[in-house]
Amino acid sequence: MNYNHLALPFSDFIFTIAIIFIVFFLTFKNTSVKNKSTVIEKDTTNLLKGFFILTVVLHHLSQRLIDPQLLKLVYGQAGYVSVGMFFFLSGYGLSISSKKSSDTFTTFVKKKLTRVYLPCVVINLIVFSTLNVNANLFEIMIPTSVDSTQWFISVILIFYSVQYVSNKVNINNIIFITLSMFIYMIGCYLMKLGEWWYVSSLCFPLGFAWHKYNKNISNVLSKLNVIQLSIIIFVLISLLIIKKFFTMLAIVACPAFCLLVLLSIYKFEIKSKTISLIGMCSLEIYIIHMKLMWVLEYFLSNNNFNYSGSIWLIPYFMILILSAYVFYRVNNYFLKLIN
């Protein structure tokens, strides 16, 4: 489906400045200096998910709107690093949960498929019914068949499988997962998949490493002075800038960005109930966001609305967050029944 003719309300400049202000204000308004810790709490995880899922949505919007010059300048390169943070948080969370319990293969499949894959299928059915699309079984069952932005779902299921196998083999799971990521990246490159399929992959084992060596990392960071810390930050930012000129450097730049974020939350305590709430249903927002754009465009065009000049993004974000939250609650209810 091709809906690349939606336009921004007012102007690209006004919208971009407004959205940056709103997102950053909601995220950082209660920021304060904290007692330094490299442990990532649940609230911080949800906040990071909330901030970066909004970044992903804006990144995809910047690729699909009429002349989004400033929006694309700000968010055009933000997609891969945002996905990298989700891979990092997945690795970090799995590292914690794998220590608490060791799932059987049946339990593992049931948990991951019902939490990640099943919502994709349900949303596909709902959207195709709404748009009166005669979709075949393949289009309904395969996340990327009609929505290319859903590649993340396929990849994260692969990464979950790698992590499950790593728990069953008698070697260092960080080494096993890292080697698996390199094999995966080589495979993607040879298959000529888009770079977004693999440039963020090393963030996944980074999450495991951050949890396993948490105390060691905390000890190192606590000994750094301002100059040393500034040099580290400068190097990390430089990698992000150079990546723009050397695409393959993104494989290193993405973990560098994760480390930059982690240094920030090591120094500052960031709290936002709104962004954390959005983070709770970040998976549902990811699954829904592009399909909702299709539905909204379909509704506006079939009712002869002048959507190119209307403030259509306001209802878009309101409906997106509300529907994602409802779907999150319903999905959790069924997960409890199934498990």
Q: What is the pLDDT of residues 249-279, one digit of tens each?
A: 778 888 888 888 888 888 778 888 899 999 9
Nearest to 297 by CA among 313, 284, 318: 313
Q: What is the pLDDT of residue 5?
A: 46
Q: What is the pLDDT of residue 2?
A: 43
Q: What is the pLDDT of residue 88?
A: 96
At residue 283 the predicted structure's pLDDT band, cuts being 50, 70 and 90, is very high
Nearest to 26 by CA among 41, 53, 47: 47
Across the range 122-150, mean pLDDT stands at 77
Which residues partner with 32 through β-bridges?
Answer: 269
Q: Which helix (H) or strand (E) holds 269?
A: strand 268-269
Higher per-residue pLDDT: 273 or 5: 273
At residue 169 the predicted structure's pLDDT band, cuts being 50, 70 and 90, is confident
> The tokens of 184 are what?
């995966």
> Would you say 301 and 78 are in contact if contact means Cβ atoms under 8 Å apart?
no
The dihedral sign for the CA sequence 105, 106, 109, 112: negative
Q: How far apart are CA 71 and CA 331, in angstroms?
A: 33
